[in-house]
């Protein structure tokens, strides 16, 4: 049962990376490289820097987008993070799409 849940969480994480690759095609090669098994050392270092950059998102250049991406990268190597991180990412994407739709409706109704 746990193996099935772990496989499901890993597949959900892979789908979230695929969404990033589709929405930002310029990052596709870099994200694919980060997902490779032999990039573990770089992936963990980049993930920690991204999480720290997301925490300091009030500074110019650094953005809040760095926090979920860094957590996704950490989740590749830390299986116990895969379920919670992918669940949070999916919820954030749903809320963002609802918010964008709401803004479009408000803009068109003026």
Structural domain boundaries enclosing 88: 2-109
Has residue 61 got a pLDDT over 80? no
Q: Is the pLDDT of residue 33 over 80?
A: yes
More confident residue, 110 or 29: 29
Q: Contact at 8 Å (CB) between 16 and 81?
A: no
- Is the pLDDT confidence value at 1 over 70? no
Q: What is the share, in percent, of the chain residues with pLDDT greater than 70?
A: 97
Which residue stretches of 1-110 are H helix? 2-23, 28-35, 40-55, 66-77, 79-109
- What is the number of structural domains in the chain? 1
């Amino acid at each position: 049962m746990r193996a099935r849940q772990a496989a499901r969480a890993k597949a959900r994480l892979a789908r979230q990376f695929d969404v990033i690759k589709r929405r930002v095609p310029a990052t596709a090669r870099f994200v694919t490289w980060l997902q490779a098994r032999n990039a573990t050392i770089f992936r963990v270092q980049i993930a920690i820097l991204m999480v720290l950059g997301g925490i300091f998102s009030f500074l110019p250049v650094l953005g809040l987008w760095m926090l979920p991406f860094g957590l996704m990268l950490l989740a590749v190597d830390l299986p116990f993070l895969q379920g919670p991180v992918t669940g949070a990412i999916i919820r954030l994407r749903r809320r963002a799409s609802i918010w964008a739709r709401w803004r479009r409706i408000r803009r068109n109704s003026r």
